[in-house]
Structure 1
Amino acid sequence: MTTPVLYTCARSRGLRATWAAEEAGVALDLKILPFPPRYLAPEFMALNPLGTVPLLVDGDTRMTESCAIAHYLGTREGYTDLSIAPGEQDYGAYCDYTYHADATITFPQTVYMRFAIFEKDKGLAEAGVAYAKWFHKRLVKVEQRLEGREFLCADRFTVADICVGYALILAESVGLDEGVPESLKAYRARLTAREAYQRAFAREEEGRLALAS
């Protein structure tokens, strides 16, 4: 098998992929790019014309969606405890929460970040605040799902937890934590205490610091 190459920016949605690889024991050739790569690493556009991260290249396979990449890495050598197979308990919930993570939760975060952080000079900060409130309201589904549960699906840690967990990690780092329920902060703490997460975060930070040196 080839060694997958992951192009990403430290602490971006690509952390889902780096984390999944560490959980699954998949060796990655990790390429940390400056943010935003479309301006600071223009050669990356030849690999991914969208200019977005992450990008996974694994032989003929090319992927740009972080949750899909996390699932791919978790199942690259067959279904494991990181994923839920068709016919298994909570298969539907696994699919739902894995997609829910980006489509419903991370989306308003990215709009908030654009208008309230990166492009404040455009006078659209109020739009950012509105999307922050949207993000907080959209946490209710995860909050209710975790009542009486340690993890989202099948009574075990899966890629769905990686995908949803990243959105909660991002909330803390970009100033959206005030509206996150305490139960979800405790869930996030359980996830980030995992050794595989710590290794993934450290790998990305090492790459980020190397860029700055």
Structure 2
Amino acid sequence: MTIKLYHCPRARSMRPLWTLEEMGLEYELIVMEFPPRATYEGYLGINPLGTVPTMIDGEVTMTESAGISQYLVDRYGPTDLGLNPRDEDYGIYLNWLHRSDATLTFPQTLVLRYTRLEPEERRIPQVAEDYQRWFLSRLRCVEETLSDRKYLCAGRFTIADV
């Protein structure tokens, strides 16, 4: 059965798309305009949240980008894109892998919402400014970690780097 990935350009669905490409897996890519819940008829029946990405692999349906990438690496590996639980850097790997969705996406989403996505009359510049500062402060940790190395963990490119 072919993996299906519902994707919007410049969205979090880029991570699982990148993972699929790096792993050389066969997949069907369904490209939609943003926001998919409003532009792709029937999408709420596929993903009631109306968000991207959505990946379907047989009976498995997933909607979190980092989780999808972890699933692909664990299900279809082995691959150097992932780490084994016995690897020394496994905890660091999981922390970086999930930080993007858990820590970075929230402030980034609010900045985009209140500077670009909302109609002009609903934009709240102060919210955007506050969350932009918060987002940038979270990026400092990434910059510090990469100041003396090329990759976030394990001395090689993994899905945590995507």
Structure 1: any 5+ residue segments left out of the alignment? 163-213
| Alignment coverage as a number of residue pairs | 161
Query: 1:36 maps to what in 2?
Result: 35
Give the Cα–Cα distance (whole angstroms) in 1 for the partners of residues 133 and 151 of structure 2: 25
| Larger displacement relative to structure 2 (144-153 or 51-60) | 144-153
**Deviations 1:126-150 (CA, angstroms, capped at 9, x unpaired):** 1011111111001122122112111
Q: Higher mean Cα deviation, 9-18 or 33-42?
A: 33-42
Does the alignment pair 1:132 with 2:132? Answer: yes
- The ranges of structure 1 where at least 4 consecutive aligned residues each deviate by more than 6 angstroms after the TM superposition are none
Q: Which residue of 2 aligns with 1:88?
A: 87
1:176 corresponds to which residue?
none
Task: State whether structure 2 residue 36 is matched by structure 1 residue 45.
Answer: no
Matched, 1:158 2:158: yes
**Deviation, structure 1 residue 78:** 2.7
Quick one: which amino acid aligns to residue 116 of structure 2?
Answer: I
The aligned amino acid for 1:129 is E
3-state secondary structure, aligned to 2:43: helix
Q: Is the Cα contact below 8 Å between 1:21 and 1:74 reproduced in 2?
A: no
**Where do 5+ consecutive residues of structure 2 fail to align?**
none
State the one-letter code of the partner of 1:146: L
Q: How does 1:15-34 map to 2 (within 5 A)?
A: 15-34=14-33
Specify which structure has the bigger relative contact order, considering alpha-carbon pairs within 8 angstroms and separated by 6 or more residues.
1
Corresponding residue number in structure 2 for 1:122 = 122
Structure 2 length-normalised TM: 0.94
Aligned to 1:148: 148
Over residues 137-185 of structure 1, what are the superposed CA-to-partner deviations in whole Å (9 max), with x where a residue is unaligned? 01122122112111011100000001xxxxxxxxxxxxxxxxxxxxxxx
| In 1: Cα distance, 2:53 partner to 2:75 partner | 17
Contact 2:115 2:123 in 1 (8 A): no
Check conservation: 1:26, 1:73, Cα contact below 8 A.
no
Normalising by structure 1, report the TM-score: 0.73
RMSD between aligned alpha carbons? 1.2
Matched residues, percent identical?
43
Contact 2:8 2:34 in 1 (8 A): yes
* Aligned pairs (5 A) from 1:56-135: 56-119=55-118, 120-135=120-135
What residue identity is the alignment partner of 1:137?
S
Higher helix share: 1
